[in-house]
Structure 1
Amino acid sequence: MALQGPIPVHFHQLFPHGCYAVGDIEPVKDFDASTPDRFVQSRDKQTGEPVWQIPVMDGDPSLKAAQKTVAVKLIAPTQPAAPAPMPGLPFTPVEFDGVTVTPYVNASGRLAYSIKAREIRPPRAGKDTA
């Protein structure tokens, strides 16, 4: 099969109603390499770059509360910066570039997706960006 590894998707295919940062960008822990006394940051298997993550809320009003928040992993050599908060809004609208999804079966036996991106930025007008 020609389709192997992470599957590239457009941001607006994944979040057609947009998404909002609801936390900070933090390093992802490599649970195999870390010890109780030493934190080791996870690295991306394809690029070897450090992995960061940010929790985001999906703007889709039809989702149940438990389905709304997801972590997006960012692959970047240095810690990315989230866009500045917008005055008057409780959450910061964000978009991602270089998005991929990797399907997997989670601990409860259900299909889930790992979402990775190369860049986080403020939303652009229009939905024709990749």
Structure 2
Amino acid sequence: MAIPRTFRVEFAEVFPSGCYMVGEVEQVKDFEASTPGKPVWARDKDTGDFLWQITVLDCAPDARDKTLKVKVTSPVQPVPPAPLQGLPFIPVEFDGMTVTPWQNGQRIAYSIKAREMRAPRASGSAPARSAAAGKDVARDAA
């Protein structure tokens, strides 16, 4: 039986209550290839595109990790949606999401990657979502 290393997931499975971008879009450094005087930027192994990292706030009240990082693969820096008046953070959604489990000491951790970041489809704020089966797939396998 061939078990995939990476699993496709939908945004609503990972962030059933939506999420907000907190911070900036940052390019991911390839720490193994970089030297102190010359940074080398990480590329996605499948597409060859650059990796960009976005810290997000998970809106789910029962989220174990309130902030986490989502990596976006893109040849150019992703542009966040426009801020919404009256909100301290920018609501975002991600398309083409995958999770990759890895062992972090005694705990199973997950790397979250997406193909695209965009504004939520619902207007006004991050959409309220009902609890979906498997909503904790990205965090609760410990």
Q: 1:2 Cα deviation (Å)?
A: 3.8
Contact 2:55–2:67 (8 Å) recurs in 1: yes
The number of equivalent residue pairs is 124
Identity of aligned residues (%): 56
**Residue matched to 1:32:** 32
Once the two structures are superposed, what CA deviation does each residue of 1:59-79 show, in whole Å capped at 9, x if it has no partner? 011235xx1000000001111
**Residue matched to 2:107:** 110
Contact 2:5–2:101 (8 Å) recurs in 1: no
Aligned residue identity for 1:120: M
Once the two structures are superposed, what CA deviation does each residue of 1:19-43 show, in whole Å capped at 9, x if it has no partner? 0000111100100000111111101
Partner Cα distance (1:92, 1:10) in 2 = 20
Q: Name stretches of at least 5 consecutive residues in structure 2 with no aligned partner.
A: 130-142
**Residue matched to 1:97:** 95
TM-score between both structures, scaled by the size of structure 2: 0.83
Q: 1:49 Cα deviation (Å)?
A: 1.1
Partner Cα distance (1:2, 1:10) in 2 = 22
Partner Cα distance (2:44, 2:106) in 1 = 24
Partner Cα distance (1:26, 1:18) in 2 = 21
Partner Cα distance (2:24, 2:17) in 1 = 21
Once the two structures are superposed, what CA deviation does each residue of 1:68-106 show, in whole Å capped at 9, x if it has no partner? 000000001111101111110011110000000000011
**Residue matched to 2:132:** none
Q: Name stretches of at least 5 consecutive residues in structure 1 with no aligned partner.
A: none
Partner Cα distance (2:60, 2:96) in 1 = 21
* Mapping of residues 39-118 of structure 1, within 5 Å: 39-64=39-64, 67-106=65-104, 108-118=105-115
Aligned residue identity for 1:40: V
